[in-house]
Amino acid sequence: MSGRAALSNAAVPRVLVLDNDQSHEVFDVVELVDGVIRARSPFLFEIGEELRVRVEQADGAFEATARVRAHTGPDDARVTELELSDRSDVPR
C-alpha cells in the first residue's frame, strides 16, 4: 500500500478552520495522504502560515496545526497543500 487514502465522496474528510470559538469551512478537500491535505479554497493563505483545524472523518475527528506548504495548479483550479502536525483526537 502506498499510504494514499482512496477517498470516495462519503470518505472525504471535512476540514474546519478554528478561530476562537468559531469554525469556518473554507476548504474543499481533494485528498488526505500521509498527514498532508490537498484542498481547494477561495482563500489564498500565505506559504508557511499556520492554521488550527478540525478534521472530521467517518471514523472520528481530530484537531491539528495545518501549515500551508504549497499552492499548485493553475489560478482557476489552485490546490493548497496543508501539512498536519500536533494532532489530538477529539470526541464528536
CA distance to 15, 31, 45, 64, 70, per residue, from 75 (Å): 22, 19, 14, 27, 13
CATH architecture of 10-90: Beta Barrel (2.40)
Residue-wise pLDDT tens digits, 47-60: 999 999 999 998 89
CB 32 within 8 A of CB 7: yes
Whether 1 has a pLDDT exceeding 90, the answer reads no
d(Cα 7, Cα 48) in Å, to the nearest integer?
26
- Quote the cell numbers at residue 22: 468559531
Compare 4 and 81 and report the one with higher pLDDT. 81
User: pTM, whole model, 2 decimals?
Assistant: 0.83
Whether 43 has a pLDDT exceeding 60, the answer reads yes
